Homo-oligomer: A and B are copies of this chain.
Amino acid sequence: MASVVKFNQHPTETLKVGKGFSLADADPDSTPGYTGNKAEGKNLLADLDGKLAEFQEKLFAEAKFGSAKRILLILQAMDTAGKGGIVRHVVRAMDPQGVQLKAFKAPSDAEKSHDFLWRIEKEAPVAGMVGVFDRSQYEDVLIHRVHSWATPDELERRYAAINEFEERLTESGTRIVKVMLNISRDAQKDRLLTRLDDPSKHWKYSSGDLEERAFWDDYMAAYQAVFDKTSTSVAPWHVVPANRKWYARIAVQQLVLGALEELNLEWPKAEFDVAAERSLAEKS
């Protein structure tokens, strides 16, 4: 049985998008900070499930006693990059009662009639929760840029609005973790072919997938612009190499664990007299 191999450098640092970051130079096949193999990575993931669940329970518990702390994990990626797998293999370790998951689809007519952040704000996680956005406000500066649904001026307005929005969430207790799962163009082709070869996966496929794929380079440019404009000190981006699904999962797990760790969570102290309640309970 493979052993558990830990990260030797934390993804919070190695995968962070800082000044001068170039998406074109990021290798989707790489495993930064990790020397273990796939089996060892899977062991690490399983090994830390309990810690993740305990942190999440403490976060939930603190909020019952007035804490404003909460987490927001934002997942963005090209199709097939593995957002769903992150939810199933990382997020699922936590109690469903403490997770607030929202998958953003194409906006409704009513949503379109509001500012783009209107529908996002409504889904911001409640205190004590781990919020997860599967797609997010960033669609409004990604697909909208690629297809020129927004003018350059409007895109600039949106980048600034997103930064202000995220700063406001942070000030009200939200620790934001932004993740872009970075797959290569070739890996996407392989995964689309795999879907086409498995009848139980056909429901996930649509002809539109190939249409968007044709804009690959434009999407990469749009992501680069997002990183340049919105990787802020309060809410930096992390670009996670995602050609190896097992690596992407342990890396995102580390990012979420790191965010929770920074919150210095504690079990709330009892606000009642434990001995007195115990005696009452005994007699009840």
Contact = CB atoms under 8 A, between A and B. Distances in A.
B205 A270 contact: yes
Interface in A69-110: 84, 87-88, 91-92, 95-97, 99, 101, 103
Interface residues of A, number: 43
Nearest to A195: B281
B97 A84 contact: yes
A20 interface: no
A283 to B, nearest CB: 9
Contacts of A134: 97
Given A96-B96, A103-B97, A189-B284, A272 B205 contact: yes
Interface stretch (A143-151, A207-215, A228-236, A256-264): A207-215
Nearest to A63: B203
Interface of A: 61, 64-65, 84, 87-88, 91-92, 95-97, 99, 101, 103, 134, 189, 192-193, 196-197, 199-200, 202-207, 210, 213-214, 267-270, 272, 274, 277-278, 280-282, 284
Contacts of A199: 267, 270
A134 B284 CA distance: 26
Query: Taking chain A's interface residues, is the majority helix, strand, or loop, or is none over half, making it mixed?
Result: helix
5 contacts: A65-B203, A97-B103, A203-B268, A210-B277, A213-B284
Given A281-B196, A281-B210, A202 B268 contact: yes
Given A95-B88, A96-B87, A270-B205, A210 B65 contact: no
A284 B87 contact: no
A19 to B, nearest CB: 34
Contacts of A203: 61, 64-65, 267-268
A88 B203 CA distance: 28
Contacts of A207: 272, 277
A212 B101 CA distance: 33
Nearest to A279: B196
Contacts of A274: 196, 202
B193 A269 contact: no
A4 B93 CA distance: 24
Contacts of A213: 284
A92 B103 contact: no
